[in-house]
Amino acid sequence: MRPVAVLSSFPIMYVDDVPASVHFYRELLGFRETYRFPDSDEPGYVALELDDGKLGLSSADFPGIHGKPQRPVTGRPFELCVRVPNVDEFLAGLRRADVAVLAEPADQPWGERVAYVEDPDGNPVHIRGPAAGGS
């Protein structure tokens, strides 16, 4: 018996400060807000998307319907990877916004240029694009 096909998926990150995370992902990384609940300045959940990706941000205090605790989280439970046309230019804009840089841009053996920054909750954000001089 074949299972019913999944139509789409996206990660939901549990964060300590939803407005700060919305600012980071919307204003600095270019996501568009598509939904918020409740519809107020202090939402518990916000849906964001790009042309080729979606992300949900939920308050770490929101009780999960599944009954499992959202916190404490240890280690590195989540890492978002975003693709940009030029890693160095993109990182320069994030630096101007005082975003913490975890790893400077470097060309990788697999042909991409990669850098890491930190979102407001300390999650690593993997920024990838063409290697220097590449297309």
pLDDT in tens, 23-43: 999 999 999 999 998 887 788
**What is the band of 65 on the pLDDT scale with cuts at 50, 70, 90?**
low
pLDDT in tens, 68-106: 666 666 666 677 889 999 999 999 999 999 999 999 999
Q: What is the mean pLDDT of the chain?
A: 85
User: Domains of the chain, with CATH numbers?
Assistant: 9-61 (3.10.180.10), 78-135 (3.10.180.10)
**What is the band of 134 on the pLDDT scale with cuts at 50, 70, 90?**
low
| 3-state secondary structure labels for all residues of the chain | CCCCCCCCCCCEEEECCHHHHHHHHHHHCCCEEEEEECCCCCCCEEEEEECCEEEEEEECCCCCCCCCCCCCCCCCCCCEEEECCCHHHHHHHHHHCCCCEEEEEEECCCCEEEEEEECCCCCEEEEEEECCCCC
pLDDT at residue 61 greater than cutoff 80: no
Count of CB atoms within 10 A of residue 114's CB? 18
- pLDDT of 77 reads 66
